[in-house]
Structure 1
Amino acid sequence: MMFHYAVILNSLGVLLGAFIGAIFKKKIPQKLHEILFTVIGLTTLGIGVRMIIQGNDFLLILLSLVAGGVIGELLKIEDRIENLGRRFKDSHGFAESFLASSLLFLVGPMTIIGSINIGVSGNAELILIKTVLDTVSAVVLTATLGSGVFLSAFSVFIVQGLLVVFARSLTFLTGDVFIADFVGTGGIMILGLGIRILELKRVRVGNLLPALVLIPFFDWLKNLF
């Protein structure tokens, strides 16, 4: 089930969009590129704020980010992403483009509900709609931020594929509270990316990634009591 056609199409759509974006990037004048870079940064801030507002329990969100940040620092996730980026010719902005695209493609109700729907009922409609949106977004993100978007196709395949495989055990994640806090946690990370893209402060967002795994666990623990 991990190799469901909709999951594969979504991953290939990101690759296609990134390929088209890479072609466009070479043709964009430097001044226009700077303007687009600023627009992407501001838009990312806006998306982050909108997602944060959807959060439900901000104490748990804070706890997940603190604990996730500690784990991320110990595992040196950000450094590993940057080291991986150095293998690409277009290594400048690799971490930003990879993190931005991965979070934007994966942190949202469509990812969770769509993937679990495939695993439980075989209904791939949401993921197919998401494929179109992600393909277009990949073009814009690659043209402005860089080649890290290519690698995000792998993130899309792994995360959505695993959600499909374990769908019957993860149906609780489709609950409003779980989705709200998951999106809220991701929103804070995306807000951090916006700040980073605009070069206001270098927020090490990569080291916060474990928070996305911790927040559903903390919500689950809370619901036990």
Structure 2
Amino acid sequence: MIGIGTIINALAIGGGAVIGLLIKNGIPERIKTTIMQAIGLAVFVIGLSGSLKEIFQVAAGGYLETRFTILMIICLVLGGIIGELLRIEERLANLGDWLQKRFSRQDGDLVRGFVTASLVYCVGAMAVVGALEDGLTGNINILLSKSLLDGITAVVFGASLGAGVALSALPVLLYQGAITLLAGTVKTLLTATVISQTSLLGGVLIMSIGLNLLEITEIKIGNLLPAIFLPVLIDLLRLILPVF
């Protein structure tokens, strides 16, 4: 069912927040570190498997051949340039800082917990890529991994920021759900090739998230987000300009 990944994600946040409210003292730091490393490995493997599935195909002779490699490089480079010019990563960070300052003036932990958690769960590449993948292909593996991450974070936030964290499940449901529904609507207009190319680029970005979670790299994934949409643009240009 389309959107089930986002529903699971929202439930994980709500459930994690409730657990955090109950245990109060949160998760010991050493256990939290190990869990985050384990999830980072899992996220990397999911991204890797998704990329390999799209980039390799069985040729007529029964051997493997690669596809979309040049397009992948072009989309990542152009997408990165667009993202840097638009300063997507920086603007997302600034938005988060502004919202936190704006609402930190308000009394009570409810609003503070709600805003902080909502930003963490919504402002990121995993929310966009996972919701797109759900809508375009029905694959919810990325959102399942995000659910584990968000659920664990919700336990920590719930213990320190209070009940407002549980309410952040609502904007996640609306935000990711809207992306999934939009992707599910437009996929009928896209060719199977374009969907595969989009999934390939999404897998590469998910691999990057895994590497960042493992603290191996500090890739500005937000600035690479435009790359996901470039296969659609290229396909449109091919229709408009047959020589393209």
TM-score by length of 2: 0.65
Given residue 124 of structure 2, which amino acid in structure 1 is its aligned partner?
A: L
Shift in Å, 1:143: 3.4
Do the aligned partners of residues 18 and 37 (structure 1) sit closer, same or farther apart at CA in structure 2, a change above 3 Å counting? Answer: same
Show the counterpart of 1:20: 15
1:193 aligns with 2:209: yes
Shift in Å, 1:82: 2.0
Q: Please list, as runs of the form range in 1=range in 2, the aligned pairs for 1:70-149 lying within 5 A after superposition.
A: 70-86=81-97, 87=100, 98-99=123-124, 101-103=126-128, 105-108=130-133, 110-113=134-137, 134=143, 137-145=145-153
Check conservation: 1:69, 1:207, Cα contact below 8 A.
yes
TM-score by length of 1: 0.70
Check conservation: 2:197, 2:231, Cα contact below 8 A.
yes
Gaps of 5+ in 1: 115-125
Given residue 42 of structure 1, which amino acid in structure 2 is its aligned partner?
A: L
Check conservation: 2:194, 2:232, Cα contact below 8 A.
yes
Q: Identity of paired residues, percent? A: 26
Gaps of 5+ in 2: 56-66, 101-111, 158-164
Show the counterpart of 1:69: 80
1:214 aligns with 2:230: yes
Shift in Å, 1:193: 1.0
1:178 aligns with 2:198: no
Query: Which of these two proteins has the greater Rg computed from alpha carbons?
Result: 2
Alpha-carbon displacement from aligned partner over 1:111-150 (angstroms, at most 9, x marks no partner): 2145xxxxxxxxxxx8xxx5x994x645411134567985
Check conservation: 1:77, 1:207, Cα contact below 8 A.
yes
Shift in Å, 1:103: 4.5
Within 1, Cα distance between the matches of 2:175 and 2:19?
23
- Aligned pairs, how many? 198
Shift in Å, 1:40: 1.0
Shift in Å, 1:65: 1.3
Shift in Å, 1:198: 1.1
> Secondary structure in 1 aligned to 2:219?
coil
> Secondary structure in 2 aligned to 1:153?
helix
Alpha-carbon displacement from aligned partner over 1:86-133 (angstroms, at most 9, x marks no partner): 4265969x669843541552243x42145xxxxxxxxxxx8xxx5x99
- Over aligned residue pairs, what C-alpha RMSD do you find? 3.5
Shift in Å, 1:205: 0.2
Check conservation: 2:6, 2:131, Cα contact below 8 A.
no
